[in-house]
Structure 1
Amino acid sequence: MKHYYFTLNIPYRDYLNYYTGYASSILVFTDRGLKLQLPAAKFRPFVTQLGIKGRFCLITDQNNKFVRLESL
């Protein structure tokens, strides 16, 4: 399994574009500078009144298929 670590700070108002389907993916940069495009729906469990804020770990299998997203 592969682990990708990144920090995300999207205010609630901005995340509404993703939540309503206007935008379908979120572009993040890992701590190592790798650019990843993730489905916005994967972040729904982490949305609060402030939006999405914090450190995350994306876990993929050896074929780079999504396994899970964790809040750290």
Structure 2
Amino acid sequence: MGELEIGGLPAEVLRALEHQADSNHRSIEDEARVILIQALLPGVRLGSMLADSGRGVELTEEESAGFDRDPSPPREIDL
């Protein structure tokens, strides 16, 4: 993926971006990324895009072992 730095944003735009990012529990960078993707590629969902970018990654046996699921049945917890 490429990188982009945007300078010269009006203060009110940055404040609005910060507020929206905070509301969505995202970093400002993540919020800007989501806004750009949704605006420029409206048919593409961010999760699908990230999943597609990860498909070409080849993990070693050791790295992929961390993704193994625990085969034991779920246990009940007391909240």
TMscore range, shorter length: under 0.3
Q: State TM-score, norm by structure 1.
A: 0.24
Higher helix share: 2
Larger Rg: 1 or 2?
A: 2
